[in-house]
């Protein structure tokens, strides 16, 4: 049961008083704030086998080894810390108290705010732990960004979330959703952001980390989460570090041939940019929370997973975000990587970007939003649309309010917006909504409107409302039965 009003010291004390829970703490970069809570709460001798902080890099390397690239605040470093400390606990204490103890190793590797306040504060935090004596171990790992503007406040927040993680793992493990929610007890997203979580181990085999990541965004713990092409969760700033991000946004329910044409030709033009290194380009398909919501304004989690599976099968990274406006999305991407980025859009999306009503909440209106959207190293590649009369609507005949036309022309002249030119006109009549309706009706021919492997996945799993073969067979049988009954009646 979730104890929402339980304070941090109360959590630490309850763990200290549970004589089964016993292990080590290793914290690097911002003091030993998590261990400090257990010492200050009383009864720490019942929980703490060892605490340490290998703050000096030479000491740290001697204990845990070196990291590729020389970075210390990375997930691989955290995992080395967890595994080494946990193995030491088992090695030294198994014979003495292994039969009645649930061993753990808590670790974090953090870069806190420097004296000049010029760096980005973030860190990796994790727990390796047993749920039964002599049982196998599990992991829960999170990545956080600290938002307090004082070093002391950041240290305090790290200690709180560390205690929350430990308490959640031992007392809420049967409900991963509750465990996730409890991580922010006594904290707010204004103080700390959790942008990645990963559950692993035999006691979490039924946990889908993609759904846990979705809930991070839904709960407001972060504004975006990222999955790799293998479906695994990724930490955005680590996965996209020093990468050229090429992003396409949409509902993608399902992804169609027109999307593939947009990606293929847009990517060619992006790679042709003089300041783009092909070896560093990553393609990301983005789904906003808004685009995931159904008619009942709620998110169908199965539908979400289906879309992610299909996009990953095409080799895409997938991002789920709460950045509804494009200028917020670009601001976020520019924080992840300083290299040039590209956005792949249809002309209706460009039209939407030039709607001033979307920026009435900004003091500077559309100019303020454009200062963010177009001042970064970003370029928009626009896929034309087919008009009802058969003509093509593109940047060449783009319609914009007269007082905004000079602004549009400025962006064209300064190479911030560019038409995708080698498009396939045969695909331009395809719309996601029309394909989805054909799928729901089981209408023949919809398979030709989507990539072949996408069609196979939809048919294999009966996705997006596609009638199953069994359902179709039963329908045919029912029709034959009705016809037969009518024939008997008539005779």
User: Which pLDDT tens digit goes with each residue over 203-215?
Assistant: 999 999 999 999 9
Mean pLDDT over 398-414 rounds to 96
Mean pLDDT over 226-237 rounds to 94
Helices (H), 324-468: 326-336, 347-353, 365-373, 405-413, 432-441, 452-461
C-alpha triplet 290, 430, 438: angle, nearest 5°: 80
Q: Where are the domains of the chain?
A: 8-207, 239-461
Q: Which of 61, 99, 93, 96 has the alpha carbon at shortest distance from 80?
A: 61
In contact, 320 and 225? CB cutoff 8 Å: yes
Q: What topology is assigned to 8-207 in CATH?
A: Maf protein (3.90.950)
For the chain, the distance separating the N- and C-terminal CA atoms, rounded to the nearest angstrom, is: 67
pTM score, whole prediction: 0.89
Q: What is the pLDDT of residue 487?
A: 56
Higher pLDDT, 179 or 477: 179
Mean pLDDT over 184-213 rounds to 96
Here the tokens at position 486 are 């009518």
Q: What is the pLDDT of residue 30?
A: 75
What is the CATH superfamily name and number for domain 239-461? HUPs (3.40.50.620)
Q: Which of 35, 65, 64, 68 has the alpha carbon at shortest distance from 50?
A: 35
d(CA 256, CA 24): 52
Element (H, E) at 34: helix 33-41
d(CA 308, CA 316): 9
Going by pLDDT thresholds of 50, 70 and 90, the confidence category of residue 296 is low
The answer on pLDDT for 403 being more than 70 is yes
Going by pLDDT thresholds of 50, 70 and 90, the confidence category of residue 57 is confident
Going by pLDDT thresholds of 50, 70 and 90, the confidence category of residue 477 is very low
User: Which pLDDT tens digit goes with each residue over 331-368?
Assistant: 999 999 999 999 999 999 999 999 999 999 999 999 99
Q: What is the pLDDT of residue 476?
A: 45
Here the tokens at position 20 are 């089964």
8-207 and 239-461 share one fold? no
User: Which pLDDT tens digit goes with each residue over 146-163?
Assistant: 999 998 999 999 999 999
Here the tokens at position 347 are 């002309």
């Amino acid at each position: 049961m979730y104890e929402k009003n339980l304070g941090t010291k109360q959590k630490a004390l309850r763990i200290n008083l549970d004589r089964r829970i016993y292990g080590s703490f290793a914290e690097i970069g911002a003091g030993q704030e998590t261990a400090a809570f257990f010492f200050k709460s009383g009864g720490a001798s019942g929980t703490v086998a060892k605490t340490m902080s290998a703050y000096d890099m030479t000491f740290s390397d001697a204990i845990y080894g070196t990291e590729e690239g020389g970075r210390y605040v990375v997930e691989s470093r955290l995992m080395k810390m967890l595994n080494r400390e946990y193995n030491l606990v088992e090695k030294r204490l198994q014979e003495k108290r292994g039969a009645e103890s649930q061993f753990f190793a808590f670790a974090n590797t953090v870069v806190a705010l420097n004296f000049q306040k010029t760096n980005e504060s973030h860190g990796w935090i994790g727990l390796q732990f047993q749920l039964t004596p002599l049982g196998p171990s599990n992991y829960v790992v999170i990545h956080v960004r600290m938002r307090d503007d004082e070093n002391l406040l950041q240290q305090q927040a790290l200690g709180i979330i560390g205690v929350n993680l430990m308490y959640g793992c031992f007392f809420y493990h049967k409900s991963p959703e509750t465990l996730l929610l409890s991580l922010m007890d006594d904290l707010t997203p204004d103080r700390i952001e959790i942008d990645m979580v990963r559950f692993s181990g035999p006691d979490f085999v039924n946990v889908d980390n993609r759904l846990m990541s979705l809930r991070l965004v839904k709960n407001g713990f972060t504004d975006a989460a990222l999955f790799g092409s293998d479906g695994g969760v990724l930490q955005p700033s680590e996965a996209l570090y020093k990468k050229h991000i090429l992003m396409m946004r949409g509902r993608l329910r399902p992804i169609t041939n027109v999307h593939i044409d947009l990606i293929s030709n847009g990517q060619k033009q992006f790679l042709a940019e003089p300041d783009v290194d092909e070896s560093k380009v990553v393609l990301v398909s983005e789904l906003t929370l808004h685009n995931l919501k159904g008619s009942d304004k709620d998110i169908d989690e199965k539908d979400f997973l289906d879309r992610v599976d299909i996009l990953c099968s095409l080799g895409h990274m997938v991002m789920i975000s709460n950045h509804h406006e494009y200028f917020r999305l670009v601001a976020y991407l520019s924080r992840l990587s300083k290299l040039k980025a590209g956005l792949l859009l249809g002309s209706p999306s460009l039209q939407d970007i030039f709607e001033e009503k979307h920026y009435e909440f900004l003091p500077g209106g559309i100019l303020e939003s454009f200062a963010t959207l177009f001042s970064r190293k970003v370029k928009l590649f626009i896929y034309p649309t087919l008009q009802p009369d058969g003509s093509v609507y593109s940047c060449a005949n783009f319609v914009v309010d007269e007082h905004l036309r000079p602004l549009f022309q400025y962006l064209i002249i300064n190479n911030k917006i560019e038409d995708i030119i080698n498009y396939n006109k045969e695909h331009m009549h395809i719309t996601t909504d029309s394909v989805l309706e054909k799928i729901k009706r089981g209408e023949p021919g919809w398979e030709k409107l989507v990539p072949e492997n996408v069609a196979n996945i939809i048919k294999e799993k009966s996705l997006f409302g596609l009638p199953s073969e069994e359902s179709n067979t039963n329908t045919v049988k029912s029709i034959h039965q009705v016809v037969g009954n009518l024939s008997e009646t008539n005779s």
